Amino acid sequence: MEILVYVPQNTSRLHYIFDQICGELLGFKVKFTSKVENFIAFQGVKFSYAKNRLGNEVFIQQFGLLEEQGISDVSIIVETWEDLDVPCFFRVSNDSDLPFDIFSASFYLLSRYEEYQPHVKNEFSCYPFEESLAYQKQFLHLPVVEIWAAQFKAILAKKFDLQPTTSKYSLQLNIAIAEAFAYNHRGFVRLVGASFRDIFNLKFKSIYYRIKSILRLSKDPYDVYDELILFARKHNISTHFFFQLSNYTRNSKSISHHKRIYHKLIKSMGDYSQLGILPGFEAIQDIKILSKEKKRWQAIVNRNLNSSLIKNYGINFPTTFEFLNKLEIQQDFSMGYPNQLGYRAGTATPFYFYDLSLEQVSKLKLTPYVMNSKLLEKANFSGLEAQLLRLKSVLKKHHLPLYLVVSNADFSEDYLKNKLFKLLDKLS
């Protein structure tokens, strides 16, 4: 179904956010016109986006962010949209059919406008969640862009006969494999070194499991791949495995990327799941290293690399995405905060990376996650479970996907594995 939008001025920002809101979220084929006579003559679904209303059409008043270029010091006042009891910002006049500019507000969140502005970086030289507007105004846990869009659709539905939503709630696990095995296949020198280190640190439990794994008396604790695949199939959960292929460094300690057993594992997972790359810490900082890791992945899998995930280190925004875009990786699954539950960009739906430094849309699609299992190191599990179950009801209401980031290591101990499987069962 087509939708015609009257706009006095066309910009790349405007095209980008209208394609996401009206196209991706609401399912319209978006067309624009700056001619009033064409807008009036059009008999289908339409609305105007301008400073002033033309007549009695559906009208959304511009705040002005989409007509600008570059980064400016934007003054933001967050208010409560009383009809929905959700936060909103970029308020406009009462003449508008929405109390705020949904398109400017959504662009601010999706473009990560605030991350281009001066801020204090965290220990990984990344943007800290505490600096974000959504965290400070307590709406980080909500997919506000979709909630806003649903209300906008309801306003359009009062005037036009609209098609029902066909999408539905779904759960996807993005599984990071930084270390394919805890003990096995690591080589004699690393085996001896790790054993002495455990003895020195009095980690007798680790020594016990290492001996059992090496003697094949039990499975390697990180070898949970078949179990994950079977569980996901049973509960209708999509999976996407991301394998690390870095050189051995202080930050990257998986088995050698040359080992045939590792190649076999990666290929076997490709028979049951989508595959992507987990860039090493050094690759995130250096595009040449990232390019090498991409070539390794493609040589092993024998297909083009289309997806990536950064789990533990955070995103060096926008540099990380600029690297991925230059290397023609089509989709990244890192849009979230590793140490905080919530929606970094205010949305649960994949969207394209808009490069504010170039004022253009890239070909890199960003898939937001709401929880990274790195949170389990500090957060209360029961509290996280309660938040996720509340979120599930919101996502089901708005027919949205739920993306979670975990690792094979999270399922290595029975106690946590059982808790995670019970949670995933409830979320599926």
Domain boundaries, the chain: 2-157, 170-181+222-427
Q: Which of 178, 152, 210, 196 is nearest to 22 (CA)?
A: 152
In the predicted structure, residue 187 carries a pLDDT above the cut 60: no
- Mean model confidence pLDDT for the chain: 92
Can you give the pLDDT at residue 116?
94
* Fold of the domain built from segment(s) 170-181+222-427: TIM Barrel (3.20.20)
In the predicted structure, residue 6 carries a pLDDT above the cut 80: yes
CB count within 10 Å of CB 12 equals: 15
Q: What tokens appear for 327 in the block?
A: 């290397």
Can you give the pLDDT at residue 189?
46
390-425 pLDDT, tens digit per residue, is 999 999 999 999 999 999 999 999 999 999 999 999
- What is the C-alpha radius of gyration for the chain, rounded to an integer number of angstroms? 24
- Give the span between the Cα atoms of 111 and 355, in whole angstroms: 7
In the predicted structure, residue 182 carries a pLDDT above the cut 80: yes
Can you give the pLDDT at residue 378?
86
Instruction: Name the percent of the chain lying above pLDDT 70.
Output: 92
Can you give the pLDDT at residue 188?
45
132-173 pLDDT, tens digit per residue, is 999 999 999 999 999 999 999 999 999 999 988 888 999 999
Model pTM? 0.92
Q: How confident is the model at residue 428 (pLDDT cuts 50, 70, 90)?
A: very high
- Give the span between the Cα atoms of 395 and 102, in whole angstroms: 19
372-399 pLDDT, tens digit per residue, is 999 998 889 999 999 999 999 999 999 9
Angle at 411 (CA atoms; ends 405, 414), nearest 5 degrees: 145
Sheet of 360-368, strand order: 351-355, 360-368, 331-335, 307-308, 274-277, 238-243, 170-177, 401-407, 371-372
Can you give the pLDDT at residue 218?
66
